[in-house]
Chains A and B, each alone.
Chain A
Amino acid sequence: MSRLSDRFAALRRTGQTGLVTYVTAGDPDLERSAGIITRLDRAGADVIELGVPFSDPLADGPVIQRATERALAAGATLPRVLDMLAGIRAGISAPVVIFSYANPILRMGLERFVSMARQAGVDGVLTLDMPPEEGQAFRTAFGEAGIDTIFLLSPTTTVERIRKAAALGSGFLYGISRLGVTGVRETVDDSARELADRVRAETDLPLALGFGLSRPEHVKAVGKWADAAVVGSALVKVIAEHGNSPELLDEVERYVRWLRS
């Protein structure tokens, strides 16, 4: 059992809705990013997703695009992100998932990436622009290192592809609860429930639903259909608003505790 599987199994046992938090690694800089990750864990995040900044984030909306630009400007690169994580991993109990576009990993070299990721205590990897059809080599290499490969599902995903992602993926499945790029929305879309129902009919693999969630009532609503809710852009926005404030880490922790309330 991986740390991800353990965490989701525990959530199911206690009937709790899990909280998956996404932050762009290196925003506003690597040092404060390390502090943010520690606070996410302390505030009770069940899974921490670390976005690797990439120059061309075509699946992301403006909030994460800006975070990516800040992180790149502050010198974040994939090896530095993994180094930073390695330095703090021992103090963090939540499983950590690397969330990346394919090119930074390919450029680093799959072998070197897997070796560094393992040393840094990475539990899972989600490659945004690497659907199962292209992801064979990644999946094999991650599997050999005991790292889960996480696939995305969207409202446009067919039943056949849900089966494929469930068969090839491990840890959990990440459902995009509505169409479009990442970003904050006011309400939880009906398509979230439809997708959750379709996934549930095909697999027991844990399901986290995300894209647009920002409030405790969203987390609760998602909990009715899925194992966990993902909060990304809304959290990145909190970091953007308090990026230069000494209160940054406290604000992050306060926000995540509120989501949990």
Chain B
Amino acid sequence: MSKVSSWFGRRDPDARGYYGAFGGRFVPETLVAPIEALETAYLEARGDPAFAAELQRLLQHYVGRETPLWDARRLSAACGGGRILLKREDLTHTGAHKINNALGQALLAKRMGKARIVAETGAGQHGVASATACALLGLECVVYMGTEDMRRQALNVFRMRLLGATVCGVDSGSCTLKDAINEAMRDWVARPGDTHYLLGSALGPHPYPLMVREFQSVIGKEARAQCLAQAGRLPDAVIACVGGGSNAIGIFDAFIDDPGVKLIGVEAGGEAIRSGRHAARFAGGAAGVLQGTRTFVLQDAHGNIEATHSVSAGLDYAAVGPEHAFLQETGRAEYHHASDTEALQAFQDLARLEGIIPALESAHAIAYVQRAARAFGPDAVLVVNLSGRGDKDVQSVEQLLQESNRVSP
């Protein structure tokens, strides 16, 4: 791969798309040519100042960047130590970091002359971001979504339809994100000529993990500069939830070369670390190949992908982005998990302490910091990526709390 110096980050994988032993391009033959064309187009685009300028214009005036780094003093006090800074991706247009990547890829698709976008979505945030980018740029948009997720995230289904997208329910397998990705890939295999697959996380075959990370790297760039300005130094740790891992890799990216900054990913611990009841790939997974990439995957003894569970649809996925597998193996990042119960508690705590209702996905990162802040010491600076807002989750949380009688008057 050519090393193109540009506005974007420059830590490229090797020529075959590998981060150490992870990554690569495990796709059916029909997709090889479209993926090679995508790689070429992407490498050209990221070296083109006009492309960067157009994306920058959209990020600033349409998305509303830069997003604030909020000094969460009441949360910090309640955690009993350290200074917690929240990177407010929840304040972006459409309410989650997903829009950064959706706009980048939609611009690229347009540059490639594609008229049609397919996307998958779990929590619905990437589907909404894709539908939004397509409405703005005049592209047709088809979103695949598991029927179980459509039930959990009904509000986002309506938002996508309102934005002009076609939402196709997927009722194979576990009816969640993994199955939606299978279906989006099947669509792309059938129409590679006029269609771009707008993958929403740092997953899939090369160049997706690289491209998605670079479109999300704006989060870390801003957070690093903001932290230096507000705290006068780099943070002790950067913490983010990890489903596929796009918000995490996006904020980690700027700190990779700062050895003093711990990078901490928080996976979905679900009900328990027991087959089928969680989505913590580093706690229960093994290396394998799923959906185009070699990475850590929750699988059974015969290589079939295991069912996953999380209270948050966006973390409910059996594989993790290959660069996270690499960061974990090399020890540059560490991965922990937070349970459904902890995330639900963090969801309520952040609302009451800071007046911010986080997405259930992001609530996992909050839950971890609540648990771990004290151990970092009273002078620690902790940056937490608040990847999305919780409007989409309010209804299902209300139901869950009523069921378990945890709702306080």
* Chain A contact residues, CB within 8 Å of chain B: 54-59, 61, 65, 72, 77-79, 101-108, 128-131, 133-134, 151-158, 161, 176, 179-181
| Cross-interface CB contact of A152 among B29, B181, B286, cutoff 8 Å | B29
- Segment touching A, from B66-74, B184-192, B359-367: B184-192
Decide if B289 touches A58 in the complex (CB within 8 Å).
no
Q: List 27 A-B contacts (CB under 8 A).
A: A54-B304, A58-B181, A58-B182, A59-B30, A65-B172, A103-B289, A103-B297, A103-B305, A106-B287, A107-B299, A107-B301, A108-B303, A128-B28, A129-B26, A129-B28, A129-B289, A129-B292, A134-B16, A134-B25, A152-B29, A154-B28, A156-B32, A156-B34, A157-B32, A161-B33, A176-B29, A179-B190
Once A131-B27, A133-B25, A156-B33 are accepted as A-B contacts, the answer to whether A181 and B186 lie under 8 Å apart by CB is: yes
Residue B61, interface by CB 8 Å: no
Interchain nearest-CB distance for B17 vs A (Å): 10
Decide if A58 touches B185 in the complex (CB within 8 Å).
yes
What residues on A are CB-neighbors of B179 within 8 Å? 56
Decide if B28 touches A103 in the complex (CB within 8 Å).
no
What residues on B are CB-neighbors of A129 within 8 Å? 26-28, 289, 292
Interchain nearest-CB distance for A185 vs B (Å): 12
SS class of chain A's interface: helix, strand, loop or mixed? loop
Decide if B25 touches A78 in the complex (CB within 8 Å).
no
Decide if B302 touches A77 in the complex (CB within 8 Å).
yes
How many angstroms from the CA of A152 to the CA of B32 in the assembled complex? 11
| Cross-interface CB contact of A55 among B16, B28, B173, cutoff 8 Å | B173
How many angstroms from the CA of A176 to the CA of B30 in the assembled complex? 8
Once A58-B182, A107-B288, A133-B16 are accepted as A-B contacts, the answer to whether A179 and B304 lie under 8 Å apart by CB is: no
Chain A minimum-CB-distance residue to B287: A106
Decide if B28 touches A179 in the complex (CB within 8 Å).
no
Q: Mark B262-275, 1 if CB is under 8 A from A, else 0.
A: 00000000000000
Taking each of B173, B182, B301, which has the highest tally of chain A beta carbons within 10 Å of its own beta carbon? B182
Residue B200, interface by CB 8 Å: no
What residues on B are CB-neighbors of A79 within 8 Å? 302
| Cross-interface CB contact of B304 among A104, A134, A153, A181, cutoff 8 Å | A104
What residues on B are CB-neighbors of A105 within 8 Å? 303
Residue B98, interface by CB 8 Å: no
Decide if B190 touches A180 in the complex (CB within 8 Å).
yes
Interchain nearest-CB distance for B61 vs A (Å): 38
Residue B390, interface by CB 8 Å: no
Taking each of B24, B181, B290, B291, which has the highest tally of chain A beta carbons within 10 Å of its own beta carbon? B290
What residues on B are CB-neighbors of A56 within 8 Å? 173, 178-179, 182, 290-291, 305
What residues on B are CB-neighbors of A131 within 8 Å? 25-29, 32
Decide if B26 touches A130 in the complex (CB within 8 Å).
yes
How many angstroms from the CA of A151 to the CA of B32 in the assembled complex? 13
Decide if B289 touches A102 in the complex (CB within 8 Å).
yes
What residues on B are CB-neighbors of A59 within 8 Å? 28, 30, 186, 189
Taking each of B24, B25, B304, which has the highest tally of chain A beta carbons within 10 Å of its own beta carbon? B304
How many angstroms from the CA of A133 to the CA of B34 in the assembled complex? 15
Chain B minimum-CB-distance residue to A54: B304
How many angstroms from the CA of A163 to the CA of B182 in the assembled complex? 29
